Amino acid sequence: MGSVKQVQITFDCAEPARVGRFWCEVLGYVVPPPPTGFASWEEFDRAQPPERQGAAFACADPEGVGPRLYFQRVPEGKVVKNRVHLDVRVGTGLVGEERVAALEAECARLIPLGARRVRLLVADEFNESCLVMQDVEGNEFCLD
């Protein structure tokens, strides 16, 4: 059995481009070039059947290290807590007040982009502090 070479993380959402552009800003990801024969993704999108227009968006780590993110339009809205979420690692190696300060600074950067702060989970004997947030469509993620 071979080993996995790549991982893509897929988000179900109502507005793929809106959610995808939010995550580009959070992670410093970029939109890949449009398919051959199209000057832009907008041009490619207009060439799709009406029901497929705006149905998907993708972005990638410009360094090629992190997973590709794919956003697909689905008809149903988010109803319950995510079973899987992203941890945005902004406090790695930091502890105590220094870690919380790094989490709070990143939270302050993300709020104007449309993120929502949910709660700060303060360190205990097993885990360091993390900050639970939601993206522009309510998907949970943590600043860790």
Confidence at residue 4, expressed as pLDDT on a 0 to 100 scale: 67
pTM greater than the 0.85 cutoff: yes
Going residue by residue through the chain, which has 144 residues, state the pLDDT in tens, using 9 for 90 and above. 677 678 899 999 999 999 999 999 999 999 999 999 999 999 999 999 999 999 999 999 999 999 999 999 999 888 888 888 999 999 999 999 999 999 999 999 999 999 999 999 999 888 899 999 999 999 999 999
Do 139 and 26 meet the contact criterion of CB atoms below 8 Å apart? Answer: no
User: CB pairs under 8 A, 24+ apart, for 65-68?
Assistant: 66/27, 66/29, 67/6, 67/7, 67/8, 67/9, 68/6, 68/8, 68/9
Confidence at residue 1, expressed as pLDDT on a 0 to 100 scale: 63
- Which parts of 24-94 are beta strand (E)? 56-59, 68-73, 86-88
For 8, phi and psi rounded to 5 degrees? -115, 135
| Cα–Cα distance measured from residue 23 to residue 85, given in angstroms and rounded to the nearest whole number | 13
- Tell me the residue type at 128: E
Confidence at residue 125, expressed as pLDDT on a 0 to 100 scale: 85
Tokens for 11, please give them: 């988000």
